[in-house]
């Protein structure tokens, strides 16, 4: 009986030690675990960026024109950080106005270009987010008696992997 117990114990020890040899190497398995963890957190992997380019924004209030950005957060759970800039027509490097806006879940914000500091001029804008997708559009309006009205400008949109 003692011999059977000793043989069984030795067999179990051999099986226990051999499974580590036959199993996947611990190095690659650990690397895969870390990669999966960072992949879920979007750290240390290429960032997906959601971009909008508006080729015409106006704040030419001298002639009755103005623009309002309409930004929408599509997520019901996560805040979205939207960054970018508005460049006045004929602007030089350093003349751009920075846009740095946080949107709460399902929030819609209307941003008048006067509040961003765009003077009595036209320009273009670039807005981007690395957190998640968002909605963007521009209401371009005119308040003069000869040309009153409003139109919706749909910006160019692309996702950069």
Q: How many CA atoms lie within 13 A of 23 on its CB side?
A: 12
55 pLDDT higher than 80: yes
**Poorest-confidence range of 2-11, 60-69, 111-120?**
2-11
Residue 15 pLDDT: 57
Residue 24 pLDDT: 46
Question: What whole-number distance in Å separates Cα of residue 52 and Cα of residue 134?
Answer: 9
Output the CA–CA distances (angstroms, integers) from residue 117 to 26, 62, 98, 101, in the order listed: 57, 15, 10, 15
Inter-residue contact 99 to 86 (CB < 8 Å)? yes
- Alpha helices (H) along the chain: 2-22, 26-41, 113-116
Give the rounded percent of residues in the chain with a pLDDT score beyond 70. Answer: 75
148 pLDDT higher than 80: yes
Inter-residue contact 146 to 64 (CB < 8 Å)? no
31-35, 91-95, 108-112, 144-148 — most confident range: 108-112
Is 122 strand, coil or helix?
A: strand
Residue 13 pLDDT: 60
Mode of pairing for the β-strands spanning 122-129 and 49-58:
antiparallel
pLDDT band at 125 (very low <50, low <70, confident <90, very high): very high
Residue 25 pLDDT: 46
**Average pLDDT, integer, range 90-101:** 86
Residue 128 pLDDT: 92
User: Each residue of 4-35: pLDDT tens digit?
Assistant: 777 677 766 665 555 544 444 444 544 555 55
Q: Which domains does the chain carry?
A: 2-41 (no CATH), 49-160 (2.60.290)
Inter-residue contact 82 to 69 (CB < 8 Å)? no
- Token reading at 31: 């690397």
């Amino acid at each position: 009986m003692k011999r059977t117990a000793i043989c069984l114990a030795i067999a179990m020890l051999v099986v226990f030690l051999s499974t580590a040899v036959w199993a996947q190497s611990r190095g690659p398995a650990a690397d895969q675990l870390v990669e999966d963890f960072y992949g879920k957190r979007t750290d240390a992997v290429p960032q997906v960026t959601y971009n909008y380019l508006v080729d015409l924004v106006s704040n030419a209030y001298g002639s009755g024109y103005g623009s309002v950005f309409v930004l929408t957060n599509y997520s019901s759970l996560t805040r979205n950080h939207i960054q970018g800039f508005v460049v006045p027509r004929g602007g030089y490097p350093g003349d751009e106005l920075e846009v740095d806006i946080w949107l709460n879940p399902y929030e819609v914000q209307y941003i008048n270009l006067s509040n961003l500091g765009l003077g009595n001029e036209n320009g273009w804008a670039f807005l981007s987010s690395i957190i998640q997708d968002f909605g963007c559009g521009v209401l371009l309006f005119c308040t003069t008696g000869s040309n009153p009205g409003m139109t919706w400008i749909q910006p160019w949109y692309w996702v950069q992997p």
